[in-house]
Structure 1
Amino acid sequence: MTDVRIVDLPGVAIAYRESGPPDGPPLVLLHALGERAADWDGVLPALAPRHRVYALDLRGHGDSGRTEHYGVEAMRDDVLAFLDALGLARVDLVGHSLGGVVAYLLAQARPERVGRLVLEDIPAPYPRPASAVPDGPDEPVDFDWAVVRPLKAQVDTPDPAWREGLAAVTAPTLLVAGGPTSHVPQDRIAELARLIPDCRTVTIDAGHLVHSARPAEYVAAVAPFLSS
């Protein structure tokens, strides 16, 4: 059974879905830009049947609050505040795309809070060519469109401290690469693996949306890593 709950944090309310055995080790799931916690439903509960799972809606997404300020560091701080609010001293952490950037920023800022880290189809944080962002979506979306421009600007031109801080990550880390059909340059994923001290990579030729396009293969790669 999955419960949908809200926790009021300083400056924003964060929605989350909680599932799994109450006494299991905690696992936090962080979605991509424009997604929400339910994006993980296709790989739960097979992903971590022994974990207590907390799938968050990042600020501006799903049922979480809309704010005047959006930034990757603010999302990292939301997750840290969430852990504190629920009394979760140390968690395993899984992030896809934007959620993965939030995850590695947390793991480098507070390495003692992260046991194991899974990053799905995320490149090393180097500048990339910027593209235009439309003023509004073509159809209704389940997130605040105002998140897109500032977050994309940060990812297009990341703070060099993001890359330098990767050396501080102590969690054993698994990178799940989407292979040649992903829009993410796979050599940049290999570079991210080089920058994180205890890291290995598995490639699943599924494109950027690995866990939704190839859920069985994703679970086969990630579940043993989380349970080891």
Structure 2
Amino acid sequence: MIHAKQYGDSLPPLVVIHGLFGNADNWHSIAQKWAEHFTVYCLDLPNHGRSSTLDPVTFPAMADAINRWLEEHQLDHIFLLGHSIGGKVAMQLTSDHPEKIAKLIVADIAPVTYQPSHTEIFKGLQEINCQKPASRKAADELLAQFESNSGVRQFLLKNLTRTEQGHVIDLGLEQLLAGYETILRQPELKEGIQTPTLFIKGEHSDYILPKYQEASLKHFPHASVKMIPETGHWLHAEKPTTFASLVKRFLTA
């Protein structure tokens, strides 16, 4: 089961997929802006937010879960946007069902295999679930032993929930950890996908590099790339107005 938050009504559908450890709420402010022009659906990926768990975690399986959600809600010819791991899922869905995707936007990820970069974060989140701290502050102090960046910790702690035993991380953590090597890999994409595609890169991010251009164009020959200056991987959070207008311009052109 895929959980979604809807913004607006009776306008062209824009489906938005968050990245690893995120959820639909990450897009709340920006989705409100887009709702003037689109009916926006912000989804929780499997093992995230209020969506069901999925095991094993693979891109075809995640894309299939979202495709079933599209069919349940009779959504066709959609605009699709995915950030980070969500961008890989969006590419997979477009490859598997190109007839359903009018335009694709991929935010700061490429169709390539990446090196592990979340190992310490996984350890920190697991430690929270093991110790079940009594307060949010205690959970943050625990996580700080594994992740020094306060902004990243605050993002991760949006998954914190209170139970009778203490605070825990409300994610399908074991499934995500077991599937982590798989989600680092290149998605299983067809070549020559004809869907109009926009890649948006954060200037200081190394998730989209010139050496990835060949792989991107092999799968998405009609792709263009835009860069948002002075942003990293979280470009939509760092420059929301710029990001929102880039998306709107591409989708309404």
TM-score normalised to the size of structure 1? 0.83
Residue in 2 that maps onto 1:14: 2
Provide the secondary structure at the position in 1 that maps to 2:21.
Answer: coil
Q: Is the 8 A contact 2:7 2:31 kept in 1?
A: no
Provide the secondary structure at the position in 2 that maps to 1:115.
Answer: strand
Q: Is the 8 A contact 2:109 2:208 kept in 1?
A: no
CA distance in 1, matches of 2:43, 2:99: 20
Quick one: which of 53, 68, 71 aligns to 1:66? 53
CA RMSD in angstroms comes to 2.1
Residue in 2 that maps onto 1:219: 244
TM-score normalised to the size of structure 2? 0.75
The 10-residue stretch of structure 1 (144-153 or 208-217) with the greater mean CA deviation from structure 2: 144-153
Quick one: which of 198, 205, 216 aligns to 1:182? 205
Identity in percent? 27
CA distance in 2, matches of 1:189, 1:224: 25
Runs of 4+ in 1 over 4 A off after TM superposition: none
* Distance 1:156-1:225 versus aligned 2 partners, 3 A rule: same
Quick one: which of 134, 138, 156 aligns to 2:184? 156
Q: Is the 8 A contact 1:72 1:101 kept in 2?
A: yes
CA distance in 1, matches of 2:185, 2:97: 23
The 10-residue stretch of structure 1 (88-97 or 59-68) with the greater mean CA deviation from structure 2: 59-68
| CA displacement 1:54-88 (0-9 Å, x = unmatched) | 11111110011224432221110011101111111
Q: Alpha-carbon deviation of 1:131?
A: 5.6
Q: How many residues align?
A: 209
Structure 1 stretches lacking a partner, 5+ long:
1-12
CA distance in 2, matches of 1:177, 1:192: 16
Q: Alpha-carbon deviation of 1:136?
A: 5.9
Q: Is the 8 A contact 1:123 1:191 kept in 2?
A: no
Quick one: which of 36, 39, 46 aligns to 1:49? 36
Describe how 1:162-201 pairs up with structure 2 within 5 A: 162=189, 165-167=190-192, 169-179=193-203, 181-195=204-218, 196-201=220-225
Residue in 2 that maps onto 1:145: 173
Q: Alpha-carbon deviation of 1:26?
A: 1.1
Q: Alpha-carbon deviation of 1:52?
A: 1.2
Structure 2 stretches lacking a partner, 5+ long:
129-167
Larger radius of gyration: 2
